[in-house]
Amino acid sequence: MFRALRPSASLYRSAVLAKNAAVAPRVSVAMNFARMYSAGTGLARSDVEKRVLDILAGFNKVDANKISLKANFNADLGLDSLDTVEVVMAIEEEFSIEIPDKDADEIKSAEQAVEYISKRDDAH
């Protein structure tokens, strides 16, 4: 009178697969993330030029009328070696970088400072 209920074969297979999946070791997936920037790194040259010229304008010994990118710190702006070191230190502070002494000795004009900073990816 009562019919025995028997699960279908596909239902049985599903149950077996589910049971085996629960016992099977789980595979973890390591995910590596990388930041991708659409804009180039570094600062715009025009911003670097303006900031370097502003640094020079902030020095009391420098005549504002003589400031230009081509102006040599010693010959054109009348800065001595100690003043030049102070300018380079002010540039380091402004752009949050450290300029090695060897490179700092080569910076004799605003244009050279702009070139150097433009090549640095870590300048802010």
Asked if residue 56 lies in contact with residue 67, where contact means CB atoms within 8 angstroms, the answer is: yes
Q: Where are the alpha helices (DSSP H) in the chain?
A: 9-23, 45-57, 81-95, 101-104, 110-119
Q: Is 80 among the catalytic positions?
A: yes
Cα separations in angstroms, 116 against 64, 69, 77, 79, 112:
23, 13, 20, 20, 6
Tokens of 9: 């074969």
* Residues 6 or more apart in contact with residue 92 via CB below 8 angstroms: 98, 99
Q: Which of 80, 103, 105, 122 is catalytic?
A: 80
The residues carrying an active-site annotation are 80
